[in-house]
Structure 1
Amino acid sequence: VVERLPGIDVRTEIHAYGGGAYAVDGARLLYTDAKDQRLYVIQGDAPARVVTPPGKAWHAGCVIDDRLDRAFCVREDATATGLPVDSIVSVDLRGETRPVPIVTGNDFYAQLRISPDGRTLSWLSWALPNMPWIGTDLWVAEIADDGVVGAATQVAGGPSESINQPEWSADGDLYFVSDRTGYWNLYRRHAGAIEAMWPLEAELGQAAWTLDDRGFGFASATEIVAAITVRGQTELRVFDIGTRKARPLAPGYTVAQSVRAGNGHALAIVASPSEPLTLVDIDVARGTTQVLARATDAKLDAGLIPRSEQITYPTAAGDGYAVFYPPASSTVRVATGERPPLIVHVHGGPTGQAWHRLDPEVVFFTSRGFAVVKVDHGGSTGYGRRYRERLNGQWGVVDVDDSIAAAKALVARGLVDAKRIVIRGGSAGGFTTLSALAFRTFFRAGASYYGISDLARLQIEGAESDKFESQYMRHLIGPYPDRKDLYVARSPLFAAAKITAPVIFFQGADDPVVLPNQSQLMHEAVKANKLPTAFLEFEGEKHGFRRATSKARALEAELYFYQRVLGIPTTGAPPIVIDNLP
C-alpha cells in the first residue's frame, strides 16, 4: 500500500478507532483516503478512481466480490441527526452507482468475508450496550447469481460470547475465534456443526478496538499460523489442521499482531524485549524470517536495553500481571545502597494490554535512571474472559488497587525506592492515574495524558458523539443515569481537593473525546491545593498524540517534572513552567 500510494494517508475513522482501511485483490487496490474518508480504487497503472460519494459516511473493512465487480463494506453513516447508523453495503467498484445497503438492523458490523466459491458472505455484528469483546454474533448468508444477499443465519455468538475473525478455509469451512470456554480459541463450522479445533488456556486474538485486526491466517490448506497469548506474552505457532498439533514458529518474540498468511508464508508485526515493533515475512516451512520494516531504525547500545521481565504479583482478586523494566544506562548510576525511582505505567482502554517489548518510551526513562512497570490490571486482555471481567463495575477501584499492588511487590523485592514511586497513563490510563492520586496517598507524583476526570460528562458527551463507546461505561461503572452516584463518586474531578501529590497534565487542544477543560479544571484544582503542577496543551493534537515533536516534547517535560518534584538532578531536559514549585 505504501509503495502504490506514496504520500497518501490511508486511514479510516470508522467506529472512532478505524481499521480495515484497504483491501487488495490481485492488481486491484481499494482504500480509504484520510483526507476525505472516501473509497478509491486503483487497478494496474490506471489513476485512482473514487467510488463513494462525499458526505458524513465512512466505509471500511471491505472485501472484493470479483464476480460482480463490487465490494462489500461496513458503512457508518452519520448523515442524519443522532448516532450514526451501521450497515453492510454493496459498493460499485466502477463508481457508477451509489452504495446499496444489503444488511441492516444491528448497531455494529465488522469482519466481512466471502467464501472461496463466492457464494456465501459471513460477518460479525453486535448490539449496544455490548463491546465486541463482550458479546458478538457470527452470521452467514448466501449470495445469489444476480448478487442479491439472502436471509442471514446465525452461526455462533450471543450477548455473553465474544466472536472474532471469521475466516474461510480453501475447502469452504468457516473458522472463527470464540471465548465460549473462557479463552479466545479456534473453532470451525464443518458440515453444519461447530467443533473446537485448538483448545487452549490461552488467547488467540485480542480486543477488537479496530475494525479488521487479525490473529491467524491460512499458510496453506493444511496449516494455520496464529498469534497465541499465554499470560500476557504472545508467540507465533503453526497449527496442523489434520493432526490438531502445533509447533512454535520464529520463537523469541513476545508480541505478535496483525497476522496474514498464504502461499507458505506468514506476515506479522512482532517485537521482543530487545527488538521494537517489526514487520516480518516468515517462511513457515523453514522458519526463516525476513525483516520488511521496523518502527524505528535507531540502533540502541546494548547497555541501554533494559532486562525486562514478566512479573506475577498478588491482588485482592488473585494473581495480577505486569512487565518490569529496570534502569539501563551507561551514564546514570544508582548510588550504592539506594534503589531507583519507579514509574507505574497504566495502559489505555481500559480493555487493553501492556505488551512486553522494547518500547522506546520506556527506554527514554530507564536510560535516565528510572525503573518502569507496565501494569496489566484486572480488566486487561491476554489472560482470558474472567480476568477481563474483573473490572466490570469496578473501574477506578480494581485498576488503582492493582497498580499499587504491582509497585508494592517490587518494593518487597528490593528493586525500587518505596519513597519515589510515580504513576502515569493516557486516556483510560490517565483516569486510573488521576483516581490513584485523588483517592489514594500511595504515589509521590503523577502524569496524566488526556486523562478522564469527569465520568458523567464523558458518558453524556460520548453518548452523543461516539457510538462505539457510548455504553462502554455501563459495564465498567453501571447504567447511567441510574447509577449517577457512582459516576460522581469515582470522578477524580470531584475529589481533586484530596490530591496531595504533584501532577503534570498533557492535553491535545483538539481532543474530541476528553475535552481540554477536563484537564484544565484538574490542573487548576491541583494548583489550588498549593501543589507543584504543570499543564501543557498541544495545538493540532487530538486524543492520542500523533506528531513525533509532540511526543518528544511531552516526554522531556514529564522527565523534567519528575526530576524536580522528586529532588533528582536534572539531566538536560528542557525546563518547563511548574506552578507552586518550592
Structure 2
Amino acid sequence: MVNIAAYGTWTSPISAADAAAAGTSPEWTDLHDGHVWWAESRPHESGRVALLRDGVEVIDDRWNVRNRVHEYGGRPFTVLDDGRVAFTNWHDQRVYLAEPGGEPVPISAEPQREHGLRYGDLRATGDEVWCVRETITGDRPTDVRRDLVALPAAGGEPRVLTASHHFLTAPRPSPDGRHAAWIGWNHPDMPWDSAELCVAPINDDGTFGEHRVIAGGERESVCQFEWESDDALLAMTDPDGWWNLHRVTLDGQARNLATIEDDLGGPMWKLGWHWFAPLGGGRHAVLVSGALSVLDERTGTITEVDNDYPLWTPNLVARDGVIVSVAAGPRQSSAVVRLDLSTGELTTLTEAPERIPDEAYLPVPEKRWFTGENGRSIPAYVYPPTNPEFAGPDGELPPYLVHVHGGPTGASSRALDPRIAYFTSRGLGVVAVNYGGSSGYGRAFRELLIGEWGVVDVQDCASVAEALAEEGTADGERLAVRGGSAGGWTSAASMTTVRTYRCGTIMYPILDLTGWTGAGGETHDFESRYIENLVGTLPEHADRYAERSPINHIDKLAGPVLLLQGLEDEVCPPEQADRFVAALDGTGIPHAYLTFEGEQHGFRRAKTIERTLEAELSFYGQVFGFTPPGVPVLDLAL
C-alpha cells in the first residue's frame, strides 16, 4: 500500500549515515602482471585512501595514499617491474616504496622547515620513479616551483629531469629510451584551455635536452598521451574543438583516428587520468559520453561495448585484451571492474556498499535539454522523488533542489550518488544542470563561460528551475539551489542576483572574486589566475569583480542560506565564508554556518557527510514548511 504524505516528510531506508558510508570511491586503477591495483577512499576512516591489490590492502591503515599536487592531487602510486609499489603518503607528502605487506620506506627527502615538497603523478620507469615535484618556496599560496624528477627506488638524491612549464605532468620514456614526453602549460591558461605535448631527447646523464612542442598550444589542449612506438605517440587533443584521439609523430604531424563530435577526453583536474587505452592492432578503448567503446582506426569507427555498466571513468588501463577501470550506473555504485574483450566476461572486483537499499528507492535520472536565454540548449539530469512506499498528495508539487556541479569546468553525470538519493527518497526532486561552461560538450560550449562566470551559469540554472516549475514538475514556490566549490559560487551568486529560489546551500564556496584571485589571493597556485579567463583581468575589470561577488550583495539575498565549510580548505579557504557570515549576522536573514575540522576541499569524512546531509534536510524543511522525521533541527540565526 502506498502512503500519501507531504513531500519532504517521507520516511526513507537511506539514512544520512548510509549515504555517507556508501561514498567509498575507488580510483587510479592499474593492471600489472595480472594483478589489479587501485586506491580507495574510505569515508568511515576519516577519508583515508587505502591501496589495494586484487581487493587486498597492501599497506596498513597508518598510510593515506594521497598527495597535494595542485591541491587536487595526482596519481598517487605506481607499480615497479619487480612488483614493489611506490606511493605518496598524505601526512608528510613523501614518496615511499613497499613490498606488498611489507614495511614502507621513504625514497624522497624529508621536507625541510624552510620549504615543503610534494609529489604526484607517479610513473615507474626502470628502477626509478618519475614524477612531478612541487617545492613550496614562500608563504603565499602561489609560491610554488615545479620540476620533473626521477627518484631512485634504492633511495638517494633525486635527479631533476626538466622544468619546461609552470605546470607539468609526469614524463614517460619512449620504448627505445631515447626520448621523453610530457604535457605542460602556463598561467593564465588552465589545462583545458591550452596544454602542450612536449618531447625532448634523453641525455647521457639522464636529464632531458631541449624540448619541442608536437601537439597542443593556443586553444588546443592535450589531456592524455601514450607512446605507441619509438617515433609516434597517441594523444587525446582537440584542435577541431572536440577531444578526439590522434596519432602524433615526433615531427608534429597529427592525424585524427576517428573524427567524432563528442569529447572522448576531459578536463585535467587531476594528473594521471586515462581516457583511452591502446588495445593493439589499431584498436583503442575510449569513452563516449561515459560509455565504454572501442575505436577502430582501420575503419574510423567507434563502437560501444555491451556490458552491465553504462558509465566508465577515466581510469582505463588495458593489457592483452583485458580492460580494467572504475564503472558505475544510475543504480550501481562505483566499482572496479575487469572486462575480457575476447570472451566478454565482466568481473566486478569490489563489493557493493552494504547500506545501499533496494534499487526501488534509487532515482533514475532523465537526461533532458532545456531552452535558456537566446534559445541556447542546456543539458540537465532530472531526478524525481522516488520512494515505492510514498506518493505526494493530490494537487501538491514537490520541492526541487537545483544541484550545481563544481569546476566550473566540470560536469554532472548520471552515476549513482547516494547523497541525491537521500533527498529524493524523502520526496524532494533534484535537477543537476550542466550549464554553459561545463565539460563534455565540446570547446565551444565550454567557452560560453569566458568572461561570463556568475552570469551564464546563474542564468542557465535558473532557466532549468523555472522550466520545471512552469511545466508542473516542480513547485515554483519551493525551489532551492545547492553546490560546492564553484557550485557554491554559483549558488551564492544565484541567491544574490535572481529571485528563482527560496533558499540556497553554499558549500566551500568562492564568495569574493578580488580576494580569491592573483598572486596575493587566498586560493592555491593551480587556480590563482583561473578567473582571468572566467571573469576578466585586473585592474581592467575590477568593477566586474566587485559587481559579481556575492559578498558585496548580501542585502540582495533572495532568502535563507546554509553555509558548509572545511577548515583546512586551501582551494576555497574558510576566510571567505567567515566574512560572508559575519556580514550576515544581525541582518534578519535566516542562516546557518557549519564548519568542520580536518576537512579540506570537499567533504571526505563519514561524520561530516552525515552531518551536512541532515543539516540540509532540516534547513529545507524549515524554509519550505515540512518536518522531516528523525532529523536533528538545524538552528538558524538571524
Q: Is the counterpart of residue 535 in structure 1 residue 589 in structure 2? A: no
Deviates more, 1:412-421 or 1:200-209: 412-421
Q: Is the 8 A contact 2:524 2:570 kept in 1?
A: no
Structure 1 residue aligned with 2:333: 276
Within 5 Å, give how 1:538-577 maps onto structure 2.
538-577=596-635
- Larger displacement relative to structure 2 (1-10 or 38-47): 38-47
Aligned to 2:304, the other structure's residue is in SS state strand
Deviates more, 1:293-302 or 1:529-538: 293-302
Could you tell me how far 1:254 is from its partner in structure 2?
3.4
Structure 2 CA distance for partners of 1:573 and 1:476, relative to 1, 3 Å: same
Greater mean deviation of Cα atoms: 527-536 or 467-476:
527-536
Distance 2:168 2:347 in 1: 35
Q: How far does the alpha carbon of each residue in 1:529-575 deviate from its partner, in whole angstroms, 9 at most, with x for none?
A: 32222111222222211111101110001101101111113221111
Which residue of 393, 416, 422 corresponds with 1:335?
393
Mapping for residues 35-184 of structure 1, pairs under 5 Å: 35-43=91-99, 47-55=103-111, 56-66=116-126, 69-80=127-138, 83-96=143-156, 98-144=157-203, 146-169=205-228, 173-184=232-243
Q: Is there any run of 5+ residues in structure 1 with no aligned partner, and where?
A: none
- Whether the 8 Å CA contact 1:499–1:529 is kept in 2: the answer is no
Asked if the contact 1:279/1:291 (under 8 Å) is kept, the reply is: yes
Cα displacement (A) at 1:483:
1.5
Query: Is structure 2 residue 62 aligned with structure 1 residue 4?
Result: no
| Letter in structure 1 aligned against 2:58 | R
Tell me the secondary structure at the aligned position of residue 517 of structure 2.
helix
Distance 1:107 1:144 in 2: 22
Query: Are 2:310 and 1:253 aligned?
Result: yes
The aligned counterpart of 2:490 is: 432
**Is the 1:343–1:423 contact (alpha carbons within 8 Å) kept by the matching residues of 2?**
yes
User: 8 Å contact 1:32–1:60 — kept in the other structure?
Assistant: yes
Q: What SS is found at the alignment partner of 2:313? A: strand
Deviations 1:423-481 (A, max 9, x none): 11111111111111111111011111122211111115774761111100100111123
Counterparts of 2:211 and 2:78, CA distance in 1 = 24
Match of 1:357 in 2: 415
Q: 1:302 aligns with which of 352, 356, 359?
A: 359
SS class of match (2:637): coil
Q: Residue 521 of structure 1 aligns with which residue?
A: 579
**Aligned-pair Cα RMSD in Å:** 2.0
Preserved contact between residue 507 and residue 519 of structure 1 (Cα < 8 Å): yes
String of CA shifts for 1:116-170, please: whole Å, max 9, x gaps: 2222211000011000000011111222455342321211111311111110126
Q: Which moved more, 1:77-86 or 1:213-222?
A: 77-86
2:617 partner amino acid: L
1:207 counterpart letter in structure 2: P
Q: 1:216 aligns with which of 246, 262, 276?
A: 276
Query: 2:477 aligns to what SS in structure 1?
Result: coil
Question: Does 2:247 match 1:188?
Answer: yes
Matched, 1:416 2:477: no
Q: What's the CA shift string for 1:237-267, capped at 9, x where partnerless?
A: 0122433333212445134331111121111
Distance in 2 separating the partners of 1:294 and 1:430 = 33
CA contact under 8 A between 1:458 and 1:513: conserved in structure 2? no
State the Cα distance separating 1:375 from its structure 2 match.
0.8
Deviation at 1:40? 1.5
In the TM superposition, what is the alpha-carbon distance from 1:220 to its structure 2 partner? 3.3
- How far apart are residue 331 of structure 1 and its match? 4.2
**Deviation of residue 84 (structure 1)?**
0.7
2:501 is aligned, of 438, 443, 447, to: 443
The letter of the residue matching 1:16 is E
Cα distance in 2 between the residues matched to 1:539 and 1:298: 26
Residue 478 to residue 11, structure 1, CA distance change in 2 (3 Å): same
The Cα of 1:77 is off from its aligned counterpart by 1.1
Which of 525, 539, 555 pairs up with 1:467? 525
The code of the aligned residue for 2:209 comes to G
Q: What does the per-residue CA deviation read over 1:252-298, in whole Å, with 9 as the maximum and x for residues that have no partner?
A: 51343311111211111111112122211111223321111257333
Q: Give the 3-state SS of the residue equivalent to 2:314 in structure 1.
A: strand
1:81-125 superposed Cα distances (whole Å, 9 cap, x missing partner): 6621111112222112x2222212411111522222222211000
Matched, 1:402 2:456: no
Report the secondary structure of 1:312's partner residue.
strand
Question: How many residue pairs were aligned?
Answer: 573
Question: How far apart, CA to CA, are the structure 2 residues paired with 1:566 and 1:465?
Answer: 35
Once residues 450 and 130 of structure 1 are traced to their aligned partners in structure 2, the CA distance between those partners, rounded to angstroms, is 24
- One-letter amino acid of the counterpart of residue 370, structure 2: Y
Question: 1:304-327 CA deviation, whole Å, 9 max, x = no partner?
Answer: 111311110111251111110000
- Of 169-178 and 444-453, deviating more is 169-178
Q: Distance in 2 between matches of 1:48 and 1:195?
A: 44
Q: Which runs of 5+ in 2 are unaligned?
A: 1-50
Q: Does the 8 Å CA contact 1:141/1:150 hold for their aligned counterparts?
A: yes
Post-superposition offset of 1:181? 0.5
Q: CA offset at residue 378 of structure 1?
A: 0.6
What are the residue-to-residue correspondences of 1:192-207 with 2, within 5 Å? Answer: 192=251, 193-207=253-267
> Contact 1:61–1:112 at 8 Å: present in 2 too?
no
Name the counterpart of 2:72.
17
TM-score for both structures, normalised by structure 1: 0.94
Supply the distance in 2 between the matched residues of 1:41 and 1:103 (Cα, whole angstroms): 23
| Alignment partners' CA distance in 2, 1:410 and 1:150 | 58
Q: Partner amino acid for 1:5?
A: I
Is 1:277–1:294's contact at 8 Å kept on the other side of the alignment?
Answer: no
**Aligned residue number for residue 16 of structure 2:** none
Give the Cα–Cα distance (whole angstroms) in 1 for the partners of residues 65 and 516 of structure 2.
29
Counterpart AA for 1:271: A
Corresponding residue number in structure 1 for 2:404: 346
Contact 1:58/1:75, CA 8 A, preserved across alignment: yes
1:172-197: CA deviation from partner (whole Å, max 9, x where unpaired): 53000111101111001247421111
| TM-score, reference length from structure 2 | 0.86
Cα separation, partners in 2 of 1:465 and 1:408, compared to 1, 3 Å? closer
Task: For 2:108 and 2:161, locate their aligned partners in 1 and report how far apart those are by CA, in whole Å.
Answer: 16
* Preserved CA contact (<8 Å) 1:111 1:165: no
Find the residue that maps to 1:203 and give its secondary structure: coil
**In 2: Cα distance, 1:43 partner to 1:571 partner:** 50
Cα 1:519–1:145 change in 2 (3 A) is closer
